[in-house]
Amino acid sequence: MTTPQLFFAYFAVAMTVLSLLVVTRRSPVHSIMWMLVLFIHIAALYLFLNAEFLAAIQIIVYAGAILVLFLFVIMMLNLKKEETAKKYQAQWPVSAGIAIILAAFLVLILGKIVVLPSLGEYSIEAVKTEGIMMTTGKVLYTEFLLPFEIASIVLLVAIIGAVVLAKKRIE
Amino acid sequence: MPGTYIPSDYLPVAIIIIFAALVGLGAVVAGILVRPRRPYAQKLYAYESGNPPVGEPRQKFSVKFYIIAMLFVVFDVEAVFLYPWAVAYDKLGIFGFVEMMLFIFILLIGYVYVWKKGAFEWE
Amino acid sequence: MEMEATISLLDMRLLVPELTLICVGLILMLLDLVVRKKELIAAVGIAGTLVAMYGTYKLYGFYNPQAAFAGMFVVDGYSNFFKLIFYLNIILTICISLKYMAIEKASFGEYYALLMFSSTGMMIMASAADLIILYLGLELMALSTYILAGFMRNQPRSNEAALKYFFLGAFSSAFLLYGISLTYGLTGTTNLKGIAEALSTLSIMDNPITYLGLIFIIVAFGFKIALVPFHMWAPDVYEGSPTSITAFMSVGPKAAGFAVLGRVLFDAFAGMQVQWAAILVPIAVLTMATGSIIALAQTNIKRMLAYSSIAHAGYMLLGIIAGTHDGLTSTVNYLMIYLFMNIGAFAIVIMLRREGVQGENLDDYMGLSKSHPLASALMLIFMFSLAGIPPTAGFVGKFYVFMEAINAGYVYMALIAVVFSAISAFFYLRVVMYMYMKDPVKEVELTTSPSMSIALAVTAMMVLIFGIFPSILLNLVRLSILG
């Protein structure tokens, strides 16, 4: 195993464990705190994929803003009762069984991964010489112009949704 | 693909994260080792010399906080999009300018809408 | 240095209908801030939709295939026909919701803007030739629909519908993204044509990871179309949402889901027809069975129509399974017919809603023919059509789908479909029986409005016209898809 692979293995295992911690904690606030650690690991994994910009966004938007939103929602709901109630539905063994089968299938087909011959236009070296922001900007605003503009409408709908669903008085 | 690249530029960041974790943990561990430990009922009370606590500290938050936070996230994402655009601005030319103006215009309408609806007001 | 851009702002010209709808949505949002009369907002919405429809019809030729944004976005007969469905869906939904939303005390201007944005998402899906565009279109459609489902803010039922729809929708999005990333990882492209090319040049069609990607993508679309076993959200969401939105989303997202299903399977995974047909066959059987059988037990008419919509998705799937362009034609034909008969049926359900009366139970239809013969006759037409009884359009739709399944060699599937179709006739005809053969137990008053009458007249007329002259519609669909 090479050093980068070791790092990847660490992040893969840690992220799996952290995700399990997020869904199994009794207190929702604890879940969120584990999620924070999870987000930071994801950011680090982006770094290892040479995606510095995504790593920064992961910290700023997810770990910074969205997590706070989650905390607000939890405090809004005041989940005192849920903490003492039963955590799982009666069917959870079935779900767990299906999940395990899917996981086993994924592991079994792992060897079938085909590695593509070419790395494409933006190799690590190319990105390094030009700078990650420059490459991201150039690709995002030319090749992916349409997705970018659609994203603005999606954000607009999110604004409307927040106002329509959560504002006390609207007329 | 994973397993071929090490972001060596970020070594200082990794070091500082590890260092910070060690300092934090070290303070706690050192405290446990050094401090004397003689608990009794009065001392374990939440406010040793204050009023006895009434009810739970966790209370329902108003939904107002949620709206503000949600709007913050949306405009935060907008700002994130501006960053690579600004860096690559020279290369994108008038084409890039127009598309970003379109993007900002659409969200500006959202901003006007939110403002007029009074979602920024603390009702 | 000026960059060489293969994509220019000129590419936007193919997006004119979508841009029109977005502009209309923005205008409605702003208009709502200054205008109090919702009728005006609704009228502007309908007018804008008609403009967009004209754009689709006239601008670049309805059947003429064209691509923009380096092949990410295509405008062809297939996508244009689906857009026609979406336009009609908006217009009919606006017509049936005006009075209704006022009764529900949820008459906000955002409602109409969200209808526009949601439909724009559907149109983007129909035109998407790239998985990224497809995903974004889907999210735009879905996010707007989640909000619309929860539009009756003071009713827990509606809140529940929005929440359930959101959670399962987000869950299905995760499936879609997983499928997309697996496919991208194997083929190195998100372009549908590019995927088809890579699958054959790299000869990875029998790679299990390709299957897995394909399965995940089908699962995600299955959620949107409400195929069994991905239908769990449908009954609760259809029951809890505002009825007009139930009508809207039983047609729009379903049609959009079929549009992308057809596009992805026929373009990107064309070489794996045997494999995806094998995945879809059991899903179709389960969908028809679950929809038809569970609907028998429903007493709430919205829930019944929800299960009916699940069953119809199963019939429509037969055309896709057939794997031929004729099969696809029959599915699209069915979708157009379904639009009219389903919105018509929901329009009658809406008419029974009054101040203080839900009017959603089967009992509310007892003896309706005595007090309201016209409304009952219309409901009779829609129920006959949904059941597939000639001379209504529903029969034509089912007939072509079943025939294409037989032509493609799926005789047993057609047989199964006929059996379940016969079973489902029971609960449609029960509504008719309640209306015509039972005595009224209570006074039923109908809420009517001019726009509602227009919607009912149009839907009923179309159901009859397409039922008696099926070739009008079928030729149009054929031209759109076969070119």
Q: How confident is the model at residue C1 (pLDDT cuts 50, 70, 90)?
A: very low
Asked whether the beta carbons of C242 and C152 are under 8 A apart, the reply is yes
Q: Which candidate from A118, A153, A170 shows the least CB-CB separation from C117?
A: A153
- HSE, CB side, 13 Å, CA atoms: give it for residue B49: 0
The answer to whether A153 touches C26, Cβ cutoff 8 Å, is no
Q: What is the pLDDT of residues C52-75, one digit of tens each?
A: 999 988 877 778 888 888 889 999
pLDDT at A88: 75
Cα separation, A35 vs A15, whole angstroms: 10
The CB density around residue B74, as the number of other CB atoms within 10 Å, is 22
| Higher local confidence (pLDDT), B122 or C3 | B122
Task: Please check the confidence at residue C355 and state whether its pLDDT lies above 90.
Answer: no
pLDDT of residue B37: 82
Closest CA–CA distance from residue B37 to any residue of chain C (Å) = 49
> Is the CB of B66 less than 8 angstroms away from the CB of A8?
no
| pLDDT of the residue at C5 | 45
The Cα of A102 is separated from the nearest Cα of chain B by a number of Å equal to: 23
Check if the beta carbon of residue C275 is closer than 8 Å to that of residue C206.
no
CA C483, CA C477: separation in Å to the nearest integer? 9
d(C-alpha C86, C-alpha C141), whole Å? 11
Interchain CB distance below 8 Å, A165 and C110? no
Q: How far is B115 from chain A (nearest CA, A)?
A: 10
Q: Residue C392: pLDDT band by 50, 70, 90 thresholds?
A: very high
pLDDT over 90 for what percent of chain A? 35
Q: Which residues of C touch B112 (CB under 8 A)?
A: 30, 33
C26 and B106 within 8 Å at the Cβ level: the answer is: yes
Mean pLDDT of C341-352: 94
State how far the alpha carbon of C274 is from the alpha carbons of A81, C94, C400, C408, in Å: 51, 42, 22, 12
- Calculate what percentage of chain C has a pLDDT beyond 70: 98
Domains of chain A: 3-84+123-166 (1.20.120.1200)
Q: Which chains, if any, share at least 3 CB pairs under 8 A with chain B?
A: A, C
Calpha distance C264→C138 (Å, rounded): 14
Burial of residue C286 (number of CB atoms within 10 Å: 0-12, 13-18, 19+): middle
SS3 for A112? helix
Task: List the one residue out of C135, C29, C174 whose CA is nearest residue A154.
Answer: C135
* Res C454: pLDDT: 94
DSSP 8-state symbol, A111? G
| Contacting partners of chain A (3+ CB pairs under 8 A) | B, C
- Percent share of chain A, pLDDT over 70: 92
pLDDT at C123: 96
Q: What pLDDT shows up at residue A171? A: 62
Distance separating alpha carbons of residues C442 and C165, to the nearest angstrom: 35
What is the per-residue pLDDT across A35-92, written as a single tens digit (0 to 9) for each?
A: 999 999 999 999 888 888 999 999 999 998 899 888 888 888 766 666 667 777 788 8
- Angle B16-B21-B25 from CA coordinates, rounded to 5°: 150
Both tokens of C285, joined, read: 């059987």
Residue C167 has pLDDT above 70, yes or no: yes
Q: B2, A160: Cβ pair inside 8 Å?
A: no
User: With an 8 Å Cβ cutoff, are A165 and C137 in contact?
Assistant: no
The confidence score (pLDDT) of residue C62 equals: 76
The answer to whether C206 and A112 have CB atoms below 8 angstroms apart is no
Distances (CA, A) of B30 to A120, B26, B33, B65, C84: 53, 6, 5, 39, 72
Closest CA to C360 of C88, C104, C90, C92: C104
Nearest to C3 among B93, B98, B117 (CB): B93
Q: What is the mean pLDDT of chain C?
A: 92
Asked whether the predicted pLDDT for residue C184 surpasses 50, the reply is yes
Residue type at A108?
L
User: What span, in angstroms and rounded, lies between the C-alpha atoms of A13 and A30?
Assistant: 20
C3 pLDDT higher than 70: no
Measured distance CA(C473)–CA(C400) in Å, rounded: 12
Give the model's pLDDT for residue B107: 92
Asked if the model's pLDDT at residue C150 lies above 90, the reply is yes
Q: What is the pLDDT of residues A110-148, one digit of tens each?
A: 888 777 766 677 777 788 888 888 988 988 888 888 999
Q: How far is A90 from chain B (nearest CA, A)?
A: 29
User: SS3 for chain C, per residue?
Assistant: CCCCCCCCHHHHHHHHHHHHHHHHHHHHHHHHHHCCCHHHHHHHHHHHHHHHHHHHHHCCCCCCCEEECCCCEEECHHHHHHHHHHHHHHHHHHHHHHHHHHHCCCCCCHHHHHHHHHHHHHHHHHHECEHHHHHHHHHHHHHHHHHHHCCCCCCHHHHHHHHHHHHHHHHHHHHHHHHHHHHHHHHCCCEHHHHHHHHHHCCCCCCHHHHHHHHHHHHHHHHHHCCCCCCCHHHHHHHHCCHHHHHHHHHHHHHHHHHHHHHHHHHHCHHHHHHHHHHHHHHHHHHHHHHHHHHCCCCEHHHHHHHHHHHHHHHHHHHHHHCCHHHHHHHHHHHHHHHHHHHHHHHHHHHCCECCECCCEHHHHCCHHHHCHHHHHHHHHHHHHHHCCCCCHHHHHHHHHHHHHHHCCCHHHHHHHHHHHHHHHHHHHHHHHHHHHCCCCCCCCCCCCHHHHHHHHHHHHHHHHHHHCHHHHHHHHHHHHHC
Whether the full predicted model's pTM is greater than 0.80, yes or no, is yes
End-to-end CA gap in chain B = 51
Give residue C466's pLDDT band: very low, low, confident or very high (50, 70, 90).
very high
CB-CB neighbors (< 8 A) of C133 in chain A: 146-147, 150
Q: Kindly compute the dihedral angle of the four CA atoms of residues C305, C308, C309, C313, in this order, to the nearest 10 degrees.
A: 180
SS3 A28: helix
Asked if A164 and C147 come within 8 Å (Cβ–Cβ), the reply is yes
- Asked whether the beta carbons of residue A141 and residue B61 sit closer than 8 angstroms, the reply is no
- Please report how the helices C373-387 and C393-407 are oriented relative to each other, as an axis angle in degrees rounded to 10: 0
CA distance B20 to chain A (A): 15
Distance CA C394, CA C312 (A): 10
Output the CA–CA distances (angstroms, integers) from residue C241 to A170, C7, C41, C115, C222, in the order listed. Answer: 19, 41, 22, 14, 20
CATH 2.60.120.10 for the B8-117 domain, yes or no? no
Least Cα separation, residue A30 to chain B (angstroms): 14
- Nearest by CB: A158 against B60, B66, B74: B74
Nearest CA in chain B to C33: B116
pLDDT band with cut points at 50, 70 and 90 for residue C384: very high
Please, which residues 64-93 of chain B have a Cβ atom closer than 8 Å to chain A? 64-67, 69-74, 76-78, 80-81, 83-89, 91-92
Rounded to an integer, the average pLDDT of C153-182 is 94
d(CA C283, CA C317): 9
Rounded distance, CA C198 to CA C228, Å? 31
Tokens of C202: 């790299």
**Could you state, in order of their start, the residue ranges of all structural domains in chain B?**
8-117
| Chain A residue numbers touching B85 (CB-CB < 8 A) | 137, 140-141
- List chain B pLDDT tens, one digit each, 123 residues: 555 788 888 889 989 999 999 999 999 999 999 988 888 887 777 777 777 777 776 677 778 888 888 888 999 899 999 999 999 999 888 888 988 999 999 999 999 999 998 888 876
Close Cβ partners of A128 (under 8 Å, ≥ 6 residues apart): none
Residue contact B95–C1, C-beta within 8 A: no
pLDDT band at C196 (very low <50, low <70, confident <90, very high): very high
Q: Which residues of B touch C5 (CB under 8 A)?
A: 95
**So what's the pLDDT on residue C4?**
41
